[in-house]
């Protein structure tokens, strides 16, 4: 099929027969298949019992007894409760409105395969417990191998429960492979079982695959760097060359293999100074460091390789990592290529990785190449031809399709096709049928190009064995269900792992993904108050004028158009081929403009996207999925993982990059072949746009400076100091502001002084009488206020002589990347009264203010230093105390608390911004001594850190996390338990 030619239109009709359907349109078919399954159970059970003339064990008399009826009724009741909870709260993966995670309803063949098998409950750990499903699992493994490009009859695959287990097993095999030649060499030493072959057994080293040398003479470095095929062939060659039995070879090696001795024993024996390592993209799945920890390799030896701006592994970075290890002779277990990243749908340049292996093999360094295709593996079906002997699927009618029956297919990009074609050359592949294979959980997959690799997970040598062994010998799991194997098999047989089967399904999904990407790409323009930027750049980027022209063409040629019109439009199809990710995930992020200027604050962009995600996902306890008309998912591009990639993306969004904050990113994952049917994409786009416009209005409001009442904590009596009560997440309060001032009216001033003397431990609050801007107060130096506190309630108080002591912005870009080591404060006041306010350098934090502290210093502070404010640090570490909360309050800060302190000159202007405002490293203090906190203390870690100012009661706890916070999970637990107890 040409890369420019969509599959025949009636393919969508065939695809539509493979699922129950968004409105259960194929209910009758599934009901028929379920009834067939149950009737077959009735038939097989009675047939077996009739053969031996067994009696009925559950008699009709028992079935009408009170006890039986009670149990029957309890089953119905408890089943009803669970079914009600599932129906009310389950996420509607079946709907085209669901575009969140890689979830969709399972295919009909897989459902009936799973259900029909679970009635027998076979255990695929051992052949005798599952003779049918073990054979079927091996057949499914063969099917997967073929689809992925493994044509050698010795390739082998099986179905672990998921990709995490598959990745663990692949790492287990690569680790054992690396140490197998060392074990063989140890077994050949004098006095050992294989010493008789030491003088004659030759091998080909990695650097010289043409001239054989004795294994006993090979260096440790060369032992660690045999090519995969050379290591795997050693056992067979020994058996053939020396006529030894399999049992003898296994017994000879058993005391020395890593499975017996452990890795450290072999490392010590052979004097290996540098631990071997795994190299994998920095955007890797969490299962890789987890597997490294389990296998004793260690997380730190699972080394991140930086990604490029498209979130694919950076080949230049990989070459640097390999060269570093080659120079210091540090072996590499494997390099992992990600074929379909779960966050961005990116496909690593596998062809380049394989070329790098050849490059380093020529120098004497070899390693396994593993493809983590847990997500993307099934897309290989898009490049496989349909077998000639199989019956065609779908009809052959040339009648025009009705509106909902035409969803075309789009081919993979040529560059992506090359990576899938290269899969045939990697040593092992992870693939998850329960992801893009539309199979029920749990169903992972692991395939080996050379099936002998599986024997490395046993206590036998990697040579050709009798194929009748049980699958459980070659994996982590013990008991494992046979149902997933039958589900996979039936799906593969009915649908087919080729261009006109599963490939057609994923082709339609890919087409839809590109059309949705077009929606995100053209949703905003240079004048909208919102900005929507897909992660994958538009064709005309970075030219802003050309980009706007491209967006307008997308609106004219693609948005709102029927699929037939899009396919007939040459420009539209060419544009779609270039939009979106390598597979079927669209990552995108929103920003906003205020008065036409793009927001630069990363934290506020994260807030906006988190609010959108929160509304377009089920997060609030007891929230009905029926109330959500579109489902999206989200992820975080952490700077430590994405590096220059996320920094470049932030620039495209108009965000600052200096602070190196992580970025909260939205995602839509396309699994449904029905989303682009008719004009349903317009419905999806409108649902998103409605939420976007509402949330942008909210975020603009909280980031717009506007007149309001401002509140201060009052300090001092001989001179008044006003400590502003800030808010990290609202523009009007995003300042750490300390003012000095006077109460103009003598009577009011006296009333305030008297109240303070009578109630020295009370906190007194000053609030502006009218709505004003803080900048107005700073500019005029006067305003009218209300003062309240114990024994005092003054209104219409004229405040004059306002001067700025500190005015530090709290925008996220100006905060420190980490909490300070020692707790820092601003110290200010007069010779007779000094006050402190905790420096707010990072969020979340706590405002800790104390009035009239008692200082004992070895040197007095100059009047000018006190007037402008100095930096005071306590002999108390801040890092281990943060963040403060109800469960972890700043209890160290209380009246009467004493600390050793150091006082430093503040070199920054009053209105300076961070980061680094409290940095005093290498600076001599002005004075040292002790501080005792007075009786008047103000503490706030709630309002200061308030994250949301909307009135919808949704819980937004962390702008850079898509995970549900603990309190939400606890509330959901209450909802479920209440439903079960009803």
Which tokens sit at 99?
């575009």
The pLDDT of residue 391 is above 90: no
pLDDT attached to residue 354: 98
What's the Cα-to-Cα distance from 310 to each of 267, 343, 511, 537, 947, rounded to whole Å? 38, 12, 20, 9, 32
What tens digit of pLDDT does each residue of 39-52 get?
999 999 999 999 99
Q: What is the mean pLDDT of residues 918-938?
A: 95
pLDDT attached to residue 406: 62
Of the pLDDT bands very low, low, confident and very high (cuts 50, 70, 90), residue 921 is confident
pTM: 0.91
915-950 burial code (b ≥16 CB/10 A, e <16): bebbbbeeeebbbeeebebbebbbbbbeebbebbee
Which tokens sit at 302?
């699972």
What tens digit of pLDDT does each residue of 246-282 get?
999 999 999 999 999 999 999 999 999 999 999 999 9
- Residue 349 sits at the vertex; the CA angle it makes with 343 and 355, to the nearest 5 degrees, is 150
Tokens 């269900």 -> residue: 481
Q: How many other C-beta atoms lie within 10 A of the C-beta of residue 165?
A: 21
DSSP 341: -
Average pLDDT, the chain: 92
Q: Where are the beta strands (DSSP E) in 359-427?
A: 368-373
pLDDT attached to residue 69: 96
Q: How many other C-beta atoms lie within 10 A of the C-beta of residue 648?
A: 16
HSE-CB for 841 with a 13 A CA cutoff: 23
What tens digit of pLDDT does each residue of 486-509 get?
999 999 999 999 999 999 999 999
- Could you give the CA distance from residue 613 to residue 607 in angstroms, rounded to a whole number? 10
- Could you give the CA distance from residue 960 to residue 966 in angstroms, rounded to a whole number? 15
Of the pLDDT bands very low, low, confident and very high (cuts 50, 70, 90), residue 401 is very low
What tens digit of pLDDT does each residue of 168-190 get?
999 999 999 999 999 999 999 99
Nearest to 476 by CA among 123, 143, 125, 121: 125
Which tokens sit at 885?
């909360």
pLDDT attached to residue 974: 79
- Within 25-65, where are the H helices? 27-51, 60-63
Tell me the three state secondary structure of residue 137: helix
What tens digit of pLDDT does each residue of 90-117 get?
999 999 999 998 889 999 999 999 999 9
Q: How many other C-beta atoms lie within 10 A of the C-beta of residue 320?
A: 13
Nearest to 305 by CA among 273, 330, 276, 337: 337
Which residues, 6+ apart, have CB-to-CB distance to 4 below 8 Å? 411, 573, 577
Of the pLDDT bands very low, low, confident and very high (cuts 50, 70, 90), residue 398 is very low
DSSP 271: T
- Could you give the CA distance from residue 949 to residue 729 in angstroms, rounded to a whole number? 9
Which residues, 6+ apart, have CB-to-CB distance to 24 below 8 Å? none
CA dihedral 324→326→332→337, nearest 10 degrees, is 60
Which tokens sit at 300?
């730190």
Q: How many other C-beta atoms lie within 10 A of the C-beta of residue 221?
A: 18
Q: What is the mean pLDDT of residues 218-245?
A: 96
The pLDDT of residue 969 is above 80: no
Q: Which residue has the higher pLDDT, 825 or 473?
A: 825
What tens digit of pLDDT does each residue of 10-69 get?
688 899 999 999 999 999 999 999 999 999 999 999 999 999 999 999 999 999 999 999
What tens digit of pLDDT does each residue of 592-629 get?
999 999 999 999 999 999 999 999 998 877 788 999 99
pLDDT attached to residue 198: 97
DSSP 878: S
């Amino acid at each position: 099929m040409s890369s420019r030619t969509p599959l025949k239109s009636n393919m969508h009709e065939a695809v539509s027969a493979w699922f129950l359907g968004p409105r259960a349109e194929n209910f009758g078919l599934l009901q028929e298949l379920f009834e067939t399954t149950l009737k077959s159970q009735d038939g097989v059970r009675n047939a077996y019992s009739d053969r031996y003339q067994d009696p009925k064990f559950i008699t009709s008399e028992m079935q009408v007894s009170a006890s039986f009826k009670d149990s029957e009724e309890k089953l119905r009741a408890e089943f009803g409760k669970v079914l009600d909870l599932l129906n009310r709260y389950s996420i509607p993966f079946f709907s085209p409105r669901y575009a969140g995670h890689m979830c969709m309803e399972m295919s009909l063949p897989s459902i009936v395969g799973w259900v029909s098998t679970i009635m027998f409950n076979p255990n695929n750990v051992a052949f005798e417990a599952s003779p049918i499903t073990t054979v079927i699992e091996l057949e499914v493994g063969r099917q997967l191998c073929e689809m992925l490009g493994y044509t050698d009859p010795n390739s082998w695959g099986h179905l672990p429960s998921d990709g995490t287990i598959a990745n663990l097993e692949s790492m287990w095999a690569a680790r054992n492979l690396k140490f197998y030649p060392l074990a063989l060499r140890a077994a050949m030493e004098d006095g050992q079982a294989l010493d008789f072959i030491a003088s004659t057994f030759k091998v080909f080293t990695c650097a010289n695959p043409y001239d054989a040398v004795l294994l006993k003479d090979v260096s440790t470095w060369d032992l660690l760097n045999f090519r995969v095929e050379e290591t795997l062939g050693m056992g067979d060659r020994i058996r053939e060359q020396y006529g030894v039995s399999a049992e003898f070879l296994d017994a000879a090696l058993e005391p020395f293999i890593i499975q017996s001795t452990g890795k450290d024993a072999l490392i010590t024996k052979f004097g290996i100074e540098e631990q071997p390592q795994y190299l994998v993209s920095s955007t890797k799945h969490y299962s890789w460091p987890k597997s490294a920890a389990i296998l004793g390799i260690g997380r730190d030896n699972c080394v991140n390789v930086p990604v490029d701006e498209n979130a694919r592994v950076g080949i230049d970075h990989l070459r640097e990592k390999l060269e570093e290890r080659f120079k210091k002779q540090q072996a590499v277990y494997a390099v992992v290529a990600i074929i379909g990243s779960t966050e961005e749908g990116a496909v690593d340049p596998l062809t380049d990785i394989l070329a790098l292996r050849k490059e380093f093999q020529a120098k004497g360094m070899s390693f396994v190449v593993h493809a983590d295709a847990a997500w993307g593996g099934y897309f290989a079906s898009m490049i496989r031809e349909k077998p000639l002997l199989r019956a065609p699927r779908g009809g052959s009618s040339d009648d025009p399709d009705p509106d909902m029956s035409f969803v075309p297919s789009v081919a993979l990009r040529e560059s992506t096709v090359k990576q899938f074609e290269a899969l045939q050359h990697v040593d092992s592949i992870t693939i998850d049928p329960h992801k893009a294979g539309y199979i029920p959980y749990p169903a992972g997959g692991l395939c080996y190009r050379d099936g002998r690799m599986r024997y490395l997970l046993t206590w036998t040598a990697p040579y050709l064995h009798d194929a009748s062994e049980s699958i459980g010998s070659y994996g982590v799991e013990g008991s494992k269900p046979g149902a997933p194997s039958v589900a996979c098999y039936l799906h593969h047989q009915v649908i087919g792992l080729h261009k006109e089967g599963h490939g057609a399904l994923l082709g339609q999904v890919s087409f839809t993904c590109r059309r949705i990407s077009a929606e995100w790409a053209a949703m905003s323009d240079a004048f909208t108050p919102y900005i929507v930027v897909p992660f994958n750049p538009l064709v005309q980027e970075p030219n802003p004028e050309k980009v706007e022209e491209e967006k307008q063409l997308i609106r004219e040629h693609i948005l709102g158009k029927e699929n037939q019109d899009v396919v007939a439009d040459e420009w539209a199809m060419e544009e779609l081929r270039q939009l979106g990710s390598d597979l079927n995930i669209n990552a995108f992020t929103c920003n906003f403009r205020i008065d036409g200027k793009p927001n630069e604050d990363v934290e506020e962009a994260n807030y906006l996207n988190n609010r959108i995600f929160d509304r377009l996902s089920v997060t609030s306890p007891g929230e009905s999925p029926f109330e959500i008309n579109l489902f999206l998912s989200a992820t975080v591009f952490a700077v430590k993982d994405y590096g220059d990639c996320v920094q470049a993306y932030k620039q495209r969004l108009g965000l600052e990059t200096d602070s190196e904050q992580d970025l909260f990113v939205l995602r839509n994952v396309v699994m449904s072949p029905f989303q682009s049917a008719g004009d349903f994409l317009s419905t999806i786009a409108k649902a998103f746009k409605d939420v976007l416009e509402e949330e942008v209005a909210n975020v603009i409001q909280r980031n717009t400076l506007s007149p309001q009442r401002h509140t201060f904590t009052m300090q001092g009596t001989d001179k008044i100091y006003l400590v502003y009560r800030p808010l990290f997440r609202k523009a009007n309060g995003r300042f750490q502001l300390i003012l000095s001032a006077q109460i103009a009216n003598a009577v009011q001033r006296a009333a305030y002084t008297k109240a303070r003397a009578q109630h020295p431990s009370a906190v007194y609050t000053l609030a502006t009488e009218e709505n004003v801007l803080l900048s107005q107060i700073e500019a005029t130096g006067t305003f009218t206020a209300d003062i309240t506190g114990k024994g005092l309630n003054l209104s219409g108080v004229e405040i004059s002589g306002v001067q700025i002591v500190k005015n530090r912005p709290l925008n996220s870009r100006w905060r420190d990347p980490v909490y300070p080591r020692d707790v820092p404060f601003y110290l200010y006041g007069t010779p007779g009264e000094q006050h402190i306010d905790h420096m707010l350098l990072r969020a979340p934090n706590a405002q800790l203010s104390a009035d009239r502290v008692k200082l004992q210093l070895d040197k007095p502070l100059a009047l000018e230093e006190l007037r402008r404010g100095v930096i005071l640090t306590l002999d108390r570490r801040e890092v281990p105390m943060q963040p403060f909360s109800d469960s972890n309050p700043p209890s160290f800060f209380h009246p009467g608390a004493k600390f050793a302190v150091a006082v430093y000159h503040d070199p920054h202007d009053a209105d300076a911004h961070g980061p680094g405002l409290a940095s005093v490293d290498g600076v001599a203090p002005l004075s040292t001594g002790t501080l005792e906190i007075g009786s008047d203390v103000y503490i706030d870690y709630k309002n200061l850190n308030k994250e949301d100012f909307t009135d919808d009661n949704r819980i937004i706890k962390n702008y850079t996390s898509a995970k549900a916070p603990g309190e939400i999970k606890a509330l959901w637990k209450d909802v479920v338990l209440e439903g079960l107890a009803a």
